[in-house]
Each structure stands twice: as C-alpha cells, then as structure tokens.
Structure 1
C-alpha cells in the first residue's frame, strides 16, 4: 500500500448504507484533517432524488454519472494535494472502483452497523429524501471492502468522535495507509 507524503492531505470516502452516519463522520473527519468536505447526495441528479424519494432504488444507469461526478471531485482534490473527505454510499466494489479510477490514492472507511441500529436512525430522520423502506435494498447491495482495497471497516455504533479518532489513527499512525 502506498503511503502519502506529509505535504499531501488524503482523499477519503466514508461509505456505508443510509443511516450509518456517513455524513456526520465525514464532516468531522474533514474538519480534523482541515480539508474540504463533499456530500455525495449533492451530486445526484434531481431525477435520481425524485426516484429515491418515491421509494424506488437507483439502478447502475442512475449511479454511473453520480459516481463519476464524485470521482471528479476527489481527483481535483488529489491533484491539488489538498485532499478531501466525501460521504458516499459506494456500496458495491464496482462503485468504489469508479471512485478509485478517478483518484487512485483514495482511502475508504466503510461504516457498518446492525440493521436495527440503522432502522432506528433512519426512523428518526427528518427532511432526508432516502426513505427507511430502501434500507433492505441497500443492505442486500452492500459489498464489504475487500483486502486489496485501501481502507477499513469501522463500527458505526460508537459516537462519531470515536469513529473519527479511529480513522485518524489509521490515516496518520504507524502503518498508515
């Protein structure tokens, strides 16, 4: 695994299903790293948002342009050396491969949690387009990070601050990515 130089900030994607805490963890990690933050939901087309809001899961035709846009954002951050942190579901290996093709140095932290925890979190959300009814679809789609993917699975149950501390240790400690 390649190690980043001290002069370059990392490009990181916090992945996982809806309700895992991607956005909260990614925002806090970006603040700790002093790098830009991107919410991948903001890269969805209006048509895709309408589709999900009506309870229909996206297909790969919907996801392709969205993942490419997130990948461009990562590539731009990496090219400047400034780095960045994005919250993006990237549930399948092939979706992460699209992001990795755009930014080969990207590190993925995939948040994992029990279905009950996720459903409780989604049930408490207000104003988000992703309905709880799509949770099972996302869990069925989820492919855990594979050993050759730079990154780690992180338990989403602890407080976001604890998850961020763990991510920071993995990014900057001995044997860092």
Structure 2
C-alpha cells in the first residue's frame, strides 16, 4: 500500500517472485470509468473506489482459500479502504511503502505509460491514513533497491500459523 510513486508494483513483483506466489496489479481492477477520471486528473471518490476494493478483496480471498496466497498492489490510502479489503481477506498483511514527496514527484514525473498524473499526488498524500497500531502490517521506506525491500518484507511477514488461519 502507499501513494503513487512509492514503488508498489516494483516491490510487489520482487516479493511475489521471492515467495513464488501469484501477483496482481490493483490498476487492473479499475473500471474504464475510474481510469478515465484519473487520466483526466480527477481524483476518485469513495463510490468509485468501493467496487474496485471489493474486486481486489475477492482476488485476495480466492488466493488465500486456494492456498497459494498472493501479493497485490493497492494504494489502500484510508483505514476504511483497508477495512474493505479485510472484510474479504481477514488475514491480509499490509506493507506500507513510503518515500519523501520529492522522491515521489521525481518517480511519477519520469514514468511512462501510467494513467496516474503527478497532479494527483498532493490529493493522495492528503488522503493517506498511515497504518494504525492495531492493523496487521509494517512500514518500509523505498529508498533501498526493490530486492532489498522485498527481502525485508519477507522477514516481516507472519508465518502461516501467525495469520490467524486454521
């Protein structure tokens, strides 16, 4: 989880490879209407996000029930968004990726082929509600290389008997 430009996709790919489990990019779950809004520089509202979050939650649930688990990127900026994901997949563990605003602006400004414009970064930062102490997860700075972050993430992930699973 985290705002645009934190390296969610890069780190998630590396993490999924390390764990040999399925990976999904949350952007793939957006409706064409959501993509059009964001491409036009219009922030999504909660009515836009709810079906998107529910679809991601279903993916997480299906992979948990199937036994493989999975890694999915998702901004999950607000506690209630993460609650929506937990409704479907109660054992979800969030890795909150962070970076300075300057780093985020540079990363967003240099990437190509992505519909999220730099102009929406400020609204994402204003919306962000960091993980609360009672939420299962960890915070990682994305300054180091993605493989280093993924290795740190693996060490932080709960083992199967710590996930509350039977």
Query: Normalising by structure 1, what TM-score?
Result: 0.89
Give the superposed CA RMSD. 1.4
Give the structure 1 partner of residue 111 of structure 2. Answer: 125
1:78 matches 2:64: yes
Which aligned pairs between 1:10-159 and structure 2 lie closer than 5 A? 15-159=1-145
Quick one: distance in 1 between partners of 2:19 and 2:91?
A: 16
Count of residues in Structure 1 that have an aligned counterpart in Structure 2:
162
TM-fit CA distance, 1:110: 0.4
What's the offset of the Cα at 1:171? Answer: 1.7
| Over 2 Å off, 4+ runs | none
Where structure 1 has 5 or more consecutive residues not aligned to the other structure, the ranges are 1-14
Structure 1: distance between partners of 2:114 and 2:108: 9
Distance 2:112 2:144 in 1: 22
1: CA distance, partners of 2:44 / 2:91: 27
- Structure (1 or 2) with the greater strand fraction: 1
Q: Is residue 163 of structure 1 aligned with residue 149 of structure 2?
A: yes
Stretches of structure 2 that go unaligned for 5 or more consecutive residues are: none
Q: Deviations over 1:125-161 (max 9, x none)?
A: 1110000000000000001001111110110111111
Normalized against structure 2, the TM-score is what? Answer: 0.94
SS of 1:50's equivalent in the other structure is helix
Write the distance in 1 (CA, Å) between the matches of 2:103 and 2:136. 26
